[in-house]
Amino acid sequence: MKKSVILSFLLILPFIISCNENKKEEDLNFKNLNLTILIDLSDRISIKKNPDQVEKDLYIINSVLNSFKKFLYHKGVVQSDDKIKVIFYPINNNSILQETADSLYIDFEQIDLMERKQVFASLNDLYNRNLKKIYSIASRANSYPGSDLFNYFKHRVVDDCILLDNRFINVLVILTDGYLFDENVKYNYGNRYSYLAPLAQHITQFRKMKNWENLFNQKDYGLIKIDNDLSRLNILIAEFNPPKAHPEDFDIIKKYWSKWLIEQNVNKSNFKILKTDLNYLNSSIIQKFFEDILKRNSAL
């Protein structure tokens, strides 16, 4: 009798293993991306100041879009509940900018199954056409109050970018030069600041200091800590762009950002900071960033 039971178990064992393997593959295939693209519309995109920046931003966003579409294609568009949107903060009073950004919010879960392939096929055209409109308006502004990324993290990032549903992988892509500045948000508590600006003393003092990280750590320099739990958020920050006269600023502002994100419970492996560079070099890094996210989440 015992031999018969053992024999029966051995016969069905391959089937059990196969089902488990298929379930793991199915779990990966049916994960969904909840992707938010946050654009810093400060003077970094000014045609006079940085004539090439708009083109660089568009290339980065297209690289992100290609990774997004590659994932959907592999999974099957009909199975998609993925979401993607473009935002900027603070909200711009220009109604055309707001309406154009609204048109870039795509929620495949709300789209009829028969229409999803059509939306997928037209996604690049939709994004490029409307992003060019956004940048055309914003880059020719008469004034640039700044991009209040500090208050975005303080007040909006959790609600905007994180879905607690385990079916979703939350990703935030930020396009910024790395400096945090808004003319109305400039204060500090000791060595913790709400802003990072090229002429700020808590940046300039480190520029010619050989062991500046020792002082940074000992005196607890950083951005003002925000009580966020971003442990479910993956963050890619691209186009850090220090002044040519001060290339060392990249390491300094990266240090501020990294400490700030870690204090908000972003895992070190879940965020990446990119300096502006040749387009194709950053494009390959972006692709790997998304591939690594999917690999990590497939093991959950």
Question: What per-residue confidence (pLDDT) applies to 24?
Answer: 41
Output Rg (C-alpha) for the chain, integer angstroms. 22
CA distance 126 to 119: 9
Tokens at residue 10, please?
A: 């051995």
Whole-number Cα distances in Å, 290 to 169, 229, 278 = 10, 21, 19
Question: What per-residue confidence (pLDDT) applies to 22?
Answer: 44
φ/ψ (deg, to 5) at 107: -120, 100
Question: What per-residue confidence (pLDDT) applies to 182?
Answer: 83
Tokens at residue 292, please?
A: 């690594």
- pTM: predicted TM-score of the whole model, two decimal places: 0.89
Question: What per-residue confidence (pLDDT) applies to 9?
Answer: 45
Helix, strand, or coil (residue 193): strand
Whether 190 contacts 218, CB under 8 Å: no
Whole-number Cα distances in Å, 223 to 166, 216, 253 = 31, 11, 10
Overall CATH class of domain 30-298: alpha beta
Tokens at residue 31, please?
A: 């994960």
Instruction: Give the type of residue at 60.
Output: I
CA distance 160 to 156: 6
Question: What per-residue confidence (pLDDT) applies to 181?
Answer: 85
Residue 89 CB contacts under 8 Å (≥ 6 apart), including other chains? 38, 147, 148, 149, 151, 152, 156
Instruction: Render each residue's pLDDT in the chain as its tens digit; 300 residues.
Output: 545 544 444 445 444 444 444 444 444 457 999 999 999 998 899 988 899 999 999 999 999 999 999 999 998 999 999 999 999 988 777 788 889 999 999 999 999 998 999 999 999 999 999 999 999 988 887 766 667 899 999 999 999 999 999 999 999 999 999 999 888 889 999 999 999 999 999 999 999 999 999 999 999 999 999 999 999 999 999 999 999 999 999 999 999 999 999 999 999 999 999 999 988 899 999 999 999 998 888 754
| Residues shown for the chain | 300
Question: What per-residue confidence (pLDDT) applies to 21?
Answer: 43
CA distance 45 to 141: 10
